[in-house]
């Protein structure tokens, strides 16, 4: 109650200025009882007046889109935004999140000056504590990343922690990370300030107006239905926070926004006898699952408990809203943790325990972007309790997205299209967020997997593989094998195998890799997204030629590896396309492309009833036969010669394997090793698998998993879309000029940008690094996101890494940029620039020497390929 | 109590018996019973303890074990050597260093496998029934479990029926009783017009009025094959009731007694008459030759009737004014510990048999419960038994047990299914009723049962949330308060079902009356062939009463 009053007081403090704006804007604006009538139409309607909605409105107006209406069902910033703790923290492991938080921080800092609304911005800094060495490693990793992003940050000792904060018990600490520029704000006021500024720029704001649904015609937003009438619009932005899921489902054309609310508690106290200084840093104790900030001389402390309480699973529910009470028993572990961290607080008097629901997403990252099914329907929601930290930056990116067609940074990790309908089950969301919320504080080690919401999509071979010791990971709901634990060998259980060092499966994967190199392995790769595109005439070829940079007019039976580029030449997708016949194509893309690629094709292919696309992902089981003996296995099973003379690489043929007919066999392996991909109609999957395993026995066949595949492809310098490649990377920047046929006699998307790059050179270059003085057994392993230094200067970050069992070294892949030493301006990266430098990779603050290479080791390729593919070597996608 | 009555002779500290100490390094005082017994009866160890109710000559008659087991077991009785061999075998098993502990989730999944809860549905946001709902659960020790449970709401009369059934010599009889008894009771309670209506419906092939709504766990099955047979017997019963039309309103006590006796009679008759279908014929014989006790409660408003046959027990949990819990028995055990029962049995037979009637606390030295369904070996004349066995299917004929006639068998019947019925008017302080088979009562005192269930039910529902409100509370004070509350609820926290909670305590309690995970884990991971030595099948139903409604009844508002 108190907080509400307090906020109300503040609201009034901010009110006059904002109200005056409202008066100018509104027709009458005299009495609250007579709301300003809604406009009949607008370019953009934003639903939700919290931090995200106001931030989007603010940035849209800044970018010149002023015909914007913001609707709020209650009052501005009255939801989660009002109740949240108001901490702006830039210490984020994902680089795009870090950039958003950094931008937000800078935005809020000058917001009061810009708008005149008091935002309560105080630069307090933050201290993240480590109780264990592993935690310290993870903080060091973040610190490296912050430092190269220009955010001051240092790793400090427990003693220094005590100097920064008078109350902290440091006895169980091993270290901490100090970020001096982190800040505190009054979140509701920040949101009001953004609203005020937006309103001054022409955005119309209507409170007490709720959206019932969005009208859609022909897959486009046409208007918004509210309880106060209809507004015609071209764009709709769903910023409804925890109600975004329901709002998304309210229309005829549902938009899946997978998020779910959980109760979140924090404690407010009366002031201390000696009130805390206003600039005392915010304390984050992830091992204790709590955060503690100064609040009016007392403290505000909350946390992320192990047993969260999800709510509103069945949608908006008055009962649950009213039952949102303090739950002290639930808060007990966090309170214990708080008193352990600050024992002197025992005598401090409680003011209130606040229950403030937060929305969480299935992968702990926020959701933004355009709906894959409804054009003009944008979303920004699911802030995972960091709405204030991300709000400013996220609003900016979304506004750029709407205005320019794409944001100024790669936001794929946050893109709504990384999810599909498969993540929209309420049960799934409820279970998953119960795992996600505790994860906010859990240690994130390389290769951790979610444990809930599993076994949703599986290959027909799942049980067979599981019985043979498969260990699983999940991608886009699909279970994929990591590796196979040999019988009799026990691995550590899940908790203990969490490590930043050499993992316990090292030798297992090593033997799988060896088998791929020397004999033959089978990897179930059914999760790949598979589309078939066909037409009655040559429409399919014509339109695909426009969508893809490589030349698809190849003889039937050829497989072409190509990027699906955007206007800037960046990779929207990276795929293999087999020409099945004159008029039909089989397209294979990464697993998580299922929604994104579908939407891209739908949006870019002409509407032509003679042209059909079909998602056949579920129809085929994909087996990858890797290794020199794959040829023997397959020819014995099919009675067909499979040698390179008869079946050169990058070929595709439908043939019989065992008793089963109609198996699409392609001579690619996505690893650069010899072998075949088998696309098997699912009803034959078990048969073919059994046949392959039986026949393969004499050639030493064994199962293998994705970890082996990963090691194989990284040592051969194959980039992987979603990890190494993104919408801001062009083929020119990753050495794939040969996949671009600028002269194919047809215009294609991104052609101009690539032409320009070809003439002017590139500003970043995909490079492979071999770690030189790295001890695999003793040193921290690289993961991704490690800063790369050239001659001591920061030049970029790694995007993926793996141990190469052949080179017996770690290999990191990453992009090198060239910043002017004085101005910091980006310069063209030349081959010489790459080759003439001394490189180091920074793993959690420790630098390792690395050798840079622009081309893979040719010695790693066992087989010579068709002439035009020698250099193409395998810039294939995993 | 029966659990160790035959095993009892084993001296725990003896070096000849590493079995107990190996498998269960728990302190010996966990097994006080074992200590107290004489050594003399050691030769009757293993197979006795497998089948408590029917001393040793029994239950592999039950399907599954049938083909091979009886001869061996039977022989064992007379050849202690082989018995000893068996024993050694068991010992080898247990003494292999199997330090395998179940994790808490594994323990929970075992304990919760059979749990079932039913909440009486509300109408208009109100529940006007005196029953809020019930929780039930079973933990097997025999494989397969020989206990059964049933719960149903009477649809043509008011009231709810709940019962636990403890089978012996197999589960066939308990299964049949669990399926059939409530129909007999419901029919006995029906007014004349309803019976006529039902009979007319059957006659003209119209849809039948539903009599019972069952509340079943998925594992509680009904046998499809016998349903026609069972139905015909039931129909004959209601036809007789129609013919007898006494015109009086049905007395619940009377109805319960009649239903029990009638069903037992039908079981006996069906076995004598046989069935042309060989499967069914074998089934009715198995039902009749095995036995079952029954403890059934009928709740209608404030009227609670408990009908009991055998040694399962019904207990009322009463909350005293000071909040403490006490137990009120609502049934009498029919076994040797009940003097009135012993007197009754003795009075029913000639003086000459007085010595042989009850031996070693068992009826004719064989059967633990003094009343039971089925068990025609204790009811039929020798001639009848021989005739049925000889004309019966080969399986029956080859079976040593069925051929065996109890010693000193002169004036049958020695056994009856007639229940004792206790009527109790529910009061607001009567919070719950526990129906359980002897597997629970032999490990826990009823006072403890009352306390554990009482605290569980109130803990779940009455631990009020704390609110700071306007009070001055410091963080330290709040922390202390919360720690205290957590300690209180931690044991309750794991269970959503009162019956599960009770089983957890029954199996896992240590000497301090607290659940000991290690002990629980050991007890639950015992191999099938050992489990029965340490515990019996446990079946529990906990019925929770609606004090508001009962209070309203009392004040004449309902």
Q: Is the pLDDT of residue A37 over 60?
A: yes
The CB density around residue A488, as the number of other CB atoms within 10 Å, is: 6
What is the number of residues in chain A? 878
Q: Which of A332, A338, A349 shows the shortest C-beta gap to B486?
A: A332
User: Is residue A442 packed enough to be buried (19+ CB in 10 Å), middle (13-18) or exposed (0-12)?
Assistant: middle
Give me the CATH number covering residue A663.
Answer: 3.30.1360.120
Residues A252-295 pLDDT 10s: 889 999 999 999 999 999 999 988 888 899 999 999 999 999 99
The C-alpha of A204 sits at a distance from chain B's nearest C-alpha, in angstroms, of 40
Taking the C-alpha atoms of residue B421 and residue B436, their distance in angstroms, rounded to an integer, is 16
Supply the range of the domain harboring residue A608: 529-701
Q: Which of B465, B466, B479 shows the shortest C-beta gap to A339?
A: B479
| Chain A residue with Cα closest to B483 | A332
Mean pLDDT along residues A62-84: 89
Q: Which of B467, B474, B482 shows the shortest C-beta gap to A332?
A: B482
Beta carbons of A352 and B468 less than 8 Å apart? yes
Q: Is the pLDDT of residue A43 over 70?
A: yes
Q: What pLDDT is recorded for position A620? A: 96
Task: Count the domains in chain A.
Answer: 4
Helix B498-508 vs helix B446-462: crossing angle, to nearest 10: 130
Taking the C-alpha atoms of residue A652 and residue A877, their distance in angstroms, rounded to an integer, is 17
Alpha-carbon A107 to chain mean position: 23
The C-alpha of B518 sits at a distance from chain A's nearest C-alpha, in angstroms, of 21
Residues A500 and A566 both lie in one domain = no
Sign of CA dihedral A111, A113, A118, A123: positive
Question: Which chain B residues are Cβ-neighbours of A347 within 8 angstroms?
Answer: 474-476
Beta carbons of B476 and A347 less than 8 Å apart? yes
Flag whether A23 is in a domain: no
Specify the pairing of strand A68-71 against strand A204-206: parallel
| Chain A residue with Cα closest to B475 | A346
Residue ranges per structural domain of chain B? 104-555
What tokens were used for A457?
């999509």
Beta carbons of A329 and B482 less than 8 Å apart? yes
Confidence of residue B218 (pLDDT cuts 50, 70, 90): confident
Q: Is the pLDDT of residue B63 over 60?
A: no
**Helices (H) and strands (E) in chain A — how many of each?**
22, 42
Q: Is the pLDDT of residue B59 over 80?
A: no
Residues A793 and A858 both lie in one domain = yes
Beta carbons of A346 and B474 less than 8 Å apart? yes
Question: Which chain A residues are Cβ-neighbours of B485 within 8 angstroms?
Answer: 329, 332
Q: Is the pLDDT of residue A482 over 50?
A: yes
Q: Is the pLDDT of residue A19 over 50?
A: no
Residues A624 and A475 both lie in one domain = no
Beta carbons of B482 and A338 less than 8 Å apart? no
Beta carbons of A349 and B476 less than 8 Å apart? no
- Which are the contacts of B447, defined by CB distance < 8 A and separation ≥ 6? B325, B326, B327
Q: What pLDDT is recorded for position B39? A: 34
Q: Which of A325, A345, A352 shows the shortest C-beta gap to B465?
A: A325
Residues A505 and A557 both lie in one domain = no
The size of the A-B interface in CB pairs under 8 A is 60
User: Is residue B107 packed enough to be buried (19+ CB in 10 Å), middle (13-18) or exposed (0-12)?
Assistant: buried
Mutating which of A319, A349, A352, A495 best tests the B interface, going by the most B Cβ atoms within 10 A?
Answer: A349
Residues A564 and A516 both lie in one domain = no
Are the CB atoms for A560 and A551 separated by under 8 Å? yes
- Which are the contacts of A286, defined by CB distance < 8 A and separation ≥ 6? A128, A129, A135, A441, A442, A443
Taking the C-alpha atoms of residue B382 and residue A603, their distance in angstroms, rounded to an integer, is 90
Beta carbons of B467 and A338 less than 8 Å apart? no
| Chain A residue with Cα closest to B485 | A329
Flag whether A424 is in a domain: no
Flag whether A590 is in a domain: yes
Q: Is the pLDDT of residue B82 over 90?
A: no
Beta carbons of A329 and B475 less than 8 Å apart? no
What tokens were used for A67?
């015909």
Mutating which of B125, B472, B475, B488 best tests the A interface, going by the most A Cβ atoms within 10 A?
Answer: B475
Q: What pLDDT is recorded for position A93? A: 87
Residues A547 and A677 both lie in one domain = yes
Q: Which of A295, A329, A360 is the last residue of a domain?
A: A360
Using alpha carbons only, give the angle A387, A389, A391 rounded to the nearest 5 degrees: 55
Residues B335-358 pLDDT 10s: 999 999 999 999 999 999 988 999
Residues B459-506 pLDDT 10s: 644 455 677 776 788 999 888 888 877 766 665 567 789 999 899 889
Using alpha carbons only, give the angle A540, A545, A551 rounded to the nearest 5 degrees: 120
Mutating which of A268, A328, A341, A343 best tests the B interface, going by the most B Cβ atoms within 10 A?
Answer: A328
Q: Which of B465, B479, B486 shows the shortest C-beta gap to A327?
A: B465
Question: Which chain A residues are Cβ-neighbours of B476 within 8 angstroms?
Answer: 339, 345-347
Residues A314-332 pLDDT 10s: 887 766 666 677 888 899 9
Q: What pLDDT is recorded for position B321? A: 86
The CB density around residue B177, as the number of other CB atoms within 10 Å, is: 31
Are the CB atoms for B363 and B345 separated by under 8 Å? yes
Question: Which chain A residues are Cβ-neighbours of B486 within 8 angstroms?
Answer: 329, 332
Beta carbons of B467 and A326 less than 8 Å apart? yes
| Chain A residue with Cα closest to B488 | A329
Highest mean pLDDT of the ranges A324-328, B195-199, B548-552: B195-199
Residues A770 and A661 both lie in one domain = no
Q: What pLDDT is recorded for position A215? A: 95
Flag whether A647 is in a domain: yes
A282 against B74, higher pLDDT: A282
The C-alpha of B460 sits at a distance from chain A's nearest C-alpha, in angstroms, of 13
Q: Is the pLDDT of residue B61 over 50?
A: no
Flag whether A278 is in a domain: yes
Residues A604 and A514 both lie in one domain = no
Confidence of residue A149 (pLDDT cuts 50, 70, 90): very high
The C-alpha of A162 sits at a distance from chain B's nearest C-alpha, in angstroms, of 22
Question: Which chain A residues are Cβ-neighbours of B472 within 8 angstroms?
Answer: 349
B29 against A775, higher pLDDT: A775
- Which are the contacts of A160, defined by CB distance < 8 A and separation ≥ 6? A176, A178
- Helix boundaries (H) for A519-668: 539-547, 594-604, 630-638
Taking the C-alpha atoms of residue A127 and residue A135, their distance in angstroms, rounded to an integer, is 13
For A146, A160, A778, the CA distances from A155, given in Å and listed in that order, are 11, 10, 22
Q: What pLDDT is recorded for position B124? A: 57
Give me the CATH number covering residue A821.
Answer: 2.40.30.110
Beta carbons of B466 and A329 less than 8 Å apart? yes
| Chain A residue with Cα closest to B463 | A329
Residues A515 and A546 both lie in one domain = no
Q: Is the pLDDT of residue B42 over 60?
A: no
Q: What pLDDT is recorded for position B41? A: 37
| Chain A residue with Cα closest to B466 | A328
Mutating which of B478, B487, B488 best tests the A interface, going by the most A Cβ atoms within 10 A?
Answer: B478
Beta carbons of A348 and B475 less than 8 Å apart? yes
Q: Which of A149-158, A593-602, B31-40 has the lowest mean pLDDT?
A: B31-40
Q: Which of A313, A336, A360 is the last residue of a domain?
A: A360
Residues B511-537 pLDDT 10s: 666 677 778 888 888 887 788 888 889
Residues A801-836 pLDDT 10s: 999 999 999 999 999 999 998 998 999 999 999 999
The C-alpha of A347 sits at a distance from chain B's nearest C-alpha, in angstroms, of 5
Confidence of residue A702 (pLDDT cuts 50, 70, 90): very high
Taking the C-alpha atoms of residue A384 and residue A368, their distance in angstroms, rounded to an integer, is 13
Taking the C-alpha atoms of residue A732 and residue A754, their distance in angstroms, rounded to an integer, is 7
Mean pLDDT along residues A471-500: 84
The CB density around residue A654, as the number of other CB atoms within 10 Å, is: 12
Question: Diameter of chain A by CA atoms?
Answer: 88
Q: What pLDDT is recorded for position A598? A: 95
Q: Which of A335, A347, A350 shows the shortest C-beta gap to B468?
A: A350
Beta carbons of A348 and B468 less than 8 Å apart? no
Q: Which of A329, A345, A349 shows the shortest C-beta gap to B472?
A: A349
Considering only CA atoms, which of A558, A252, A255, A604 is closest in space to residue A420?
A255
pTM (two decimals) = 0.68
Confidence of residue B378 (pLDDT cuts 50, 70, 90): very high
Mean pLDDT along residues A51-71: 96
Beta carbons of B476 and A332 less than 8 Å apart? no
The C-alpha of B504 sits at a distance from chain A's nearest C-alpha, in angstroms, of 23
Question: Which chain A residues are Cβ-neighbours of B466 within 8 angstroms?
Answer: 326, 328-329
Query: What value does the CA radius of gyration of chain B take, rounded to a whole number of Å?
Result: 25
Taking the C-alpha atoms of residue B213 and residue B152, their distance in angstroms, rounded to an integer, is 5
What tokens were used for A560?
């072409």
Beta carbons of A328 and B472 less than 8 Å apart? no
ipTM: 0.82
Q: Which of B476, B478, B489 shows the shortest C-beta gap to A328?
A: B478
Are the CB atoms for A600 and A572 separated by under 8 Å? yes
Residues A503 and A579 both lie in one domain = no
Task: Please tell me what DSSP assigns to residue B371.
Answer: B
Residues A338 and A213 both lie in one domain = yes
Confidence of residue B65 (pLDDT cuts 50, 70, 90): very low
Q: Is the pLDDT of residue A387 over 90?
A: yes
- Which are the contacts of A541, defined by CB distance < 8 A and separation ≥ 6? A535, A552, A553, A582, A583, A585
Tokens 């194509």 correspond to A585
Mean pLDDT along residues A107-125: 94
Q: Is the pLDDT of residue B128 over 80?
A: no
Mean pLDDT along residues B67-82: 35
| Chain B residue with Cα closest to A301 | B475
Query: For domain B104-555, which CATH number applies: 3.30.420.10, 3.40.50.300, 3.60.40.10, 3.40.109.10?
Result: 3.60.40.10
Beta carbons of A348 and B466 less than 8 Å apart? no
Q: What pLDDT is recorded for position A448? A: 82
Residues A101 and A188 both lie in one domain = yes
Beta carbons of A328 and B466 less than 8 Å apart? yes
Q: What pLDDT is recorded for position A531? A: 97
Report chain A residues touching chain B, CB-CB < 8 A: 267, 269, 325-329, 331-332, 335-336, 338-339, 345-350, 352-353
Instruction: Determine which helix (DSSP H) or strand (DSSP E) holds B256, and give its type and residue range.
Output: helix B252-273
Are the CB atoms for A245 and A259 separated by under 8 Å? yes
Confidence of residue B125 (pLDDT cuts 50, 70, 90): low
Residues A620-654 pLDDT 10s: 999 999 999 999 999 999 999 999 899 998 999 99
Q: What percent of chain B has pLDDT over 70?
A: 76
Beta carbons of A350 and B473 less than 8 Å apart? yes
Spell out the SS3 assignment of A281-320.
CEEEEHHHCEEEEEECCEEEEEECCCCCCEECCCCCCHHH
Residues A711-767 pLDDT 10s: 999 999 999 998 999 999 999 999 999 999 999 889 999 999 999 999 999 999 999
């Amino acid at each position: 109650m108190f907080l509400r009053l307090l906020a109300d007081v503040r609201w009034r403090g901010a009110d006059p200025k904002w109200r005056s704006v409202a008066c100018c804007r509104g027709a009458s604006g005299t009495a609250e009882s007579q709301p300003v009538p809604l406009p009949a139409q607008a370019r953009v309607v934003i639903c939700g007046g919290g931090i995200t909605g106001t931030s989007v409105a603010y940035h849209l107006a800044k970018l010149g889109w002023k015909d914007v209406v913001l609707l709020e069902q209650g009052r501005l910033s009255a939801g989660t935004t009002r109740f949240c703790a108001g901490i702006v923290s830039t210490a984020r492991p994902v680089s795009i999140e870090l950039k958003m938080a950094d931008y937000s921080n800078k935005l809020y800092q000058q917001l009061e000056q810009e708008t005149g609304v008091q935002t309560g911005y105080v630069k307090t800094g933050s201290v993240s504590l480590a109780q264990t060495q592993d935690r310290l490693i993870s903080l060091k990793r973040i610190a490296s990343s912050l430092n190269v992003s220009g955010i001051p940050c240092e790793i400090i000792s427990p003693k220094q922690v005590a100097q920064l904060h008078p109350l902290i018990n440091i006895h169980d600490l091993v270290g901490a990370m100090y970020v001096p520029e982190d800040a505190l704000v009054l979140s509701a006021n920040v949101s009001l300030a953004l609203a005020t500024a937006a309103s001054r720029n022409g955005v119309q704001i209507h409170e007490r107006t709720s959206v019932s649904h969005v009208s859609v015609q022909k897959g486009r937003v046409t208007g918004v239905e509210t309880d106060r009438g209809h507004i015609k619009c071209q764009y709709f932005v769903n910023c409804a926070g925890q109600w975004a899921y329901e709002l998304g489902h309210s229309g005829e054309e549902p938009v899946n926004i997978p998020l779910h609310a959980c109760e979140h508690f924090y404690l407010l106290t009366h002031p201390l006898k000696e009130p805390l200084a206003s600039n005392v840093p915010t304390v984050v104790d992830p091992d204790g699952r709590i955060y503690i900030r100064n609040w009016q001389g007392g403290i505000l402390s909350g946390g992320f408990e192990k047993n969260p309480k999800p709510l509103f699973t069945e949608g908006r529910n008055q009962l649950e809203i009213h039952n949102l009470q303090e739950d002290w028993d639930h808060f007990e572990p966090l309170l214990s943790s708080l008193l352990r961290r600050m024992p002197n607080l025992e005598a401090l008097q409680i003011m209130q325990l606040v229950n403030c629901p937060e929305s969480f997403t299935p992968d702990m990252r926020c959701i933004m972007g355009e709906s894959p099914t409804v054009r003009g329907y944008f979303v920004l929601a699911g802030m995972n309790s960091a709405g204030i930290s991300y709000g400013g930056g996220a609003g900016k990116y979304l506004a750029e997205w709407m205005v320019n067609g794409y944001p100024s940074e790669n936001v794929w990790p946050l893109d709504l299209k990384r999810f599909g309908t498969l993540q929209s089950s309420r049960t799934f969301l409820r279970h998953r967020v119960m795992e996600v919320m505790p994860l906010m504080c859990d240690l994130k080690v390389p290769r951790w997997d979610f444990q809930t919401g599993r076994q949703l999509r599986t290959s027909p071979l799942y049980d067979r593989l599981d019985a043979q010791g498969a260990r699983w990971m999940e991608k886009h709901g699909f279970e994929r094998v990591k590796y196979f634990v040999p019988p009799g060998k026990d691995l550590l259980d899940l908790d203990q195998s969490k490590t930043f060092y050499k993992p316990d499966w090292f030798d297992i994967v090593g033997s799988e890799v060896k088998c791929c190199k020397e004999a033959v392995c089978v990897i179930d790769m059914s999760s790949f997204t598979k589309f078939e595109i066909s037409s009655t005439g040559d429409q399919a070829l014509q339109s695909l030629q426009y969508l893809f940079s490589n030349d698809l007019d190849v003889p039937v039976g050829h497989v072409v590896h190509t990027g699906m580029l955007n206007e800037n030449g960046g990779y929207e997708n990276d795929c293999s396309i087999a020409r099945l016949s004159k008029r039909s194509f089989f397209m294979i893309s990464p697993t998580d492309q299922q929604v994104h690629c579908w939407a891209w094709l739908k949006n870019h292919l002409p509407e032509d009833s003679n042209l059909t696309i079909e998602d056949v992902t579920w129809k085929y089981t994909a087996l990858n036969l890797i290794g020199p003996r794959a040829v023997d296995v397959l020819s014995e099973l099919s009675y067909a010669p499979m040698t390179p003379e008869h079946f050169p690489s990058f070929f595709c043929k439908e043939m019989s394997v065992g008793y089963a007919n109609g198996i699409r066999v392609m001579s690619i392996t996505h690893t650069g090793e010899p072998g075949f991909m088998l696309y098997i109609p699912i009803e034959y999957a078990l048969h073919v698998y059994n046949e392959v395993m039986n026949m393969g026995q004499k050639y030493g066949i064994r199962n293998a998993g994705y970890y082996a595949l990963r090691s194989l492809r990284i040592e051969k310098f194959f980039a992987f879309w979603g990890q190494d490649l993104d919408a801001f990377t062009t083929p020119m920047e990753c050495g794939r000029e040969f996949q671009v046929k600028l002269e194919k006699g047809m215009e294609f998307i991104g052609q101009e940008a690539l032409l320009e790059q070809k003439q002017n050179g590139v500003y970043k270059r995909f490079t492979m690094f071999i770690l030189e003085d790295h001890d695999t057994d003793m040193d921290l392993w690289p993961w991704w996101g490690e800063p790369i230094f050239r001659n001591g200067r920061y030049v970029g970050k790694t995007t993926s890494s793996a141990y190469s069992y052949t080179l017996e070294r770690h290999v990191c892949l990453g992009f090198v940029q060239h910043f002017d030493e004085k101005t910091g301006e980006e310069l063209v990266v030349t081959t010489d620039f790459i080759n003439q430098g001394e490189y180091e990779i920074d793993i959690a603050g420790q630098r390792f020497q690395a050798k840079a290479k622009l081309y893979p080791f040719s010695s790693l390729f066992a087989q010579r390929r068709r002439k035009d593919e020698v250099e193409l070597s395998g810039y294939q996608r995993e | 109590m029966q659990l160790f009555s035959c095993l009892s002779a084993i001296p725990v500290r003896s070096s000849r018996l590493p079995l107990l100490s190996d498998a269960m390094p728990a302190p010996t005082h966990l097994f006080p019973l074992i200590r107290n017994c004489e050594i003399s009866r050691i030769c009757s160890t293993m197979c006795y303890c497998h089948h408590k109710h029917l001393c040793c000559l029994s239950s592999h008659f039950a399907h599954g074990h049938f083909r091979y087991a009886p001869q061996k077991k039977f022989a064992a009785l007379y050849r202690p050597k082989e018995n000893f061999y068996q024993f050694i075998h068991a010992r080898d098993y247990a003494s292999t260093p199997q330090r395998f502990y179940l994790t808490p989730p594994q323990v929970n999944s075992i304990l919760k496998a059979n749990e079932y809860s039913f909440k009486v549905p509300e109408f208009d946001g109100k529940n006007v029934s005196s029953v809020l709902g019930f929780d039930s659960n079973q933990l097997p020790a025999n494989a397969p479990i020989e206990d059964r449970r049933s719960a149903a709401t009477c649809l043509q009369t008011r009231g709810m029926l709940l019962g636990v059934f403890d089978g012996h010599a197999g589960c066939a009889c308990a299964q049949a009783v669990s399926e059939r008894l409530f129909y007999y009771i419901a029919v006995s309670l029906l007014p004349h017009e309803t019976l006529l209506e039902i009979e007319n419906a059957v006659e003209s092939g119209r849809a039948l009025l539903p009599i019972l709504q069952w509340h079943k766990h998925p594992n509680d099955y009904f046998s499809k094959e016998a349903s026609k047979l069972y139905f015909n017997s039931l129909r004959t019963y209601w036809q007789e009731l129609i013919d007898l039309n006494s015109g009086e309103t049905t007395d619940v006590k009377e109805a319960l007694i009649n239903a029990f006796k009638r069903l037992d009679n039908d079981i006996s008759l069906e076995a004598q008459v046989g069935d042309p279908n060989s499967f069914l014929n074998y089934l009715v014989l198995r039902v009749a030759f095995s036995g079952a006790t029954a403890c059934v409660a009928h709740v209608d408003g404030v009227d609670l009737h408990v009908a009991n046959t055998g040694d399962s027990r019904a207990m009322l949990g009463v909350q005293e004014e000071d909040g403490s819990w006490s137990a009120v028995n609502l049934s009498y055990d029919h076994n040797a510990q009940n003097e009135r029962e012993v007197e009754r049995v003795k009075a029913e037979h000639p003086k000459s048999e007085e010595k042989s009637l009850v031996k070693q606390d068992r009826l004719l030295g064989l059967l633990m419960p003094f009343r039971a369904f089925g068990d025609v070996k204790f009811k039929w004349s020798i001639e009848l038994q021989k005739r049925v066995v000889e004309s019966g299917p080969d399986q029956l004929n080859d079976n040593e047990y069925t051929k065996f006639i109890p010693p000193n068998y002169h004036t049958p019947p020695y056994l009856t299914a007639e229940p004792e019925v206790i009527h109790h008017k529910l009061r607001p302080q009567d919070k719950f009723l526990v129906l359980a088979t002897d597997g629970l009562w032999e490990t826990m005192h009823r006072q403890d049962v009352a306390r554990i269930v009482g605290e569980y039910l109130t803990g779940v529902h009455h631990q009020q949330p704390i609110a700071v409100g306007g009070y001055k509370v410091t963080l330290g004070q709040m922390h202390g308060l919360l720690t205290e509350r957590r300690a209180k609820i931690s044991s309750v926290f794991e269970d959503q079902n009162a019956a599960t909670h009770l089983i957890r305590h029954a199996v896992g309690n240590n000497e301090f009356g607290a659940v000991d995970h290690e002990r629980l884990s050991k007890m639950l991971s015992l191999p099938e062939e050992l489990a029965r030595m340490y515990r019996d099948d446990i079946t529990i139903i906990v019925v929770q009463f609606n004090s508001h409604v009962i209070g309203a009844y009392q004040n004449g508002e309902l």
